[in-house]
Amino acid sequence: MKDTTLSVTYLYFRGVHLSRTRDVNLLPPVATTAIDPGTGQTFVVQRFPGTGATPAAQFTSATPLRPNLRFNRINLFENSANSRYQGLAIQGRRRFSQTHVPFFEGGATQFLLSYTFSKAEDDKPDQTSVVPGGGDDSKVAENPFDLRNEWSYSDADQRHRLVFSSVVEVGKVKSSNKLLRILFNDYTISGITQLQSGFAYSAQVGADLNRDGNSRDDRVPGFARNSFRTPAVYQSDARITRTIRTSETTKLRLILEGFNIWNRANTGLAPGGGYFSFVNINQYRGFTADAATNKLTLLPALPANAFGLPRSIITPRQLQLAIKFDF
């Protein structure tokens, strides 16, 4: 097809010696049984030893026993993380060129269509986990003694992404009727549509189940990291521009723009980012420890905070008008 190109690209990236933050002031964890009382399902949790004068007190304690008792966490910044990305990108492009628009003359169009099929995996590297006790706590590995267990889909993994953008200049209407020319000449219609897979996130327990002094890194036992997805994201934005030439060197442009014109409720990142900000990730709101049985009982999330419900919606439908004067 004239003025049109097609390209196919395969990408492979391997990341090694990536930075991460790891708490090195912990003793090796101990396998502990956790029970879901609603289903009767049992899990094995790797739980770090706790403080206490007796075994019963140690089991129910909420404080981890630290090898170096003078400190709580000791965060080590190291280059032990890894990542891998594979992607197949297909792109079709038509450069801006003349085209036939029914009932008009002098029209021109361009478009860009791109599709990416990709897979991003890593073992939770991070360069920004520097503030203990806050949102940065979700960025660290759940078990610093078993970093291989973190290998899964990356936080940035999006399996499918399709983007189509176009610009159509309709030109001038094929008519000698002055009114038709005034109403329909010199319009430009443009738009962009994005369709992409949802964001990856982990099912978590809203408490310090593994007793490492961090309540934001505790995943539900039995589920791999980032094994859940938000719904797919569909969004279309459009613009209509009418150009009115006021002289040989000046022109007035009337613009109507719409964002998310179909008003789809897309679940996405809330301000501050991080997958914990766009859905309720806590499948369990906490747990109780029974020293008599040496077992943990998981407490299900409340209905109002049910696992997987959206916490933020990105870009509701928005319309705006603008006037531009070029001189």
Q: What is the pLDDT of residue 270?
A: 47
Residue linked to tokens 């029974």: 290
Pick from 313, 199, 320: which is nearest to 263 by CA?
A: 313
Return the closest-CA partner of residue 309 out of 259, 261, 265. Answer: 265
- Considering Cα of 296, then 301, then 302, then 303, what sign does the dihedral take? negative
Strand-pair partners of 267: 313
DSSP 186: S
Measured CA to CA, the distance from residue 314 to residue 260 in angstroms comes to: 9
Q: How far apart are CA 51 and CA 48, in angstroms?
A: 10
Going residue by residue through the chain, which has 327 residues, state the pLDDT in tens, using 9 for 90 and above: 788 999 999 999 999 999 999 999 999 999 999 999 999 999 999 999 999 999 999 999 999 999 999 999 999 999 999 999 999 999 999 999 988 888 888 889 999 999 999 999 999 998 888 888 877 888 899 999 999 999 999 988 999 999 999 999 998 988 888 898 888 899 999 999 999 998 888 999 989 999 999 999 999 988 999 999 988 999 999 999 999 988 888 999 999 999 999 999 888 654 444 555 678 889 999 999 999 999 999 999 988 888 888 887 888 899 999 999 998
Residue type, 89: A
What is the pLDDT at residue 57? Answer: 96
Exposure string for 239-269, b = 16+ CB within 10 A, e = fewer: bebebeeeeeeeeeeeeebbbbbeebebbbe
Do 90 and 114 touch, CB atoms closer than 8 A? yes
Nearest to 12 by CA among 97, 85, 111, 99: 85
Q: Other CB atoms closer than 10 Å to residue 146's CB: what's the count?
A: 12
Give the count of beta carbons closer than 10 Å to the beta carbon of residue 22: 19
Quickly tell me which residue has 């089991």 as its tokens: 59
Residue with token string 């897309």:
266
Residues 6+ apart with CB under 8 A from 288: 296, 297, 299
CA distance 149 to 275: 19
Tell me how far apart the alpha carbons of residues 259 and 163 are, in angstroms, rounded to a whole number.
Answer: 15
Q: Contact 180/193 with Cβ under 8 angstroms?
A: no
Specify burial of residue 210 (Cβ count, 10 A radius: 0-12, 13-18, 19+).
buried
Tens of pLDDT, residue by residue over 184-213, are: 899 999 999 999 998 888 999 989 999 999
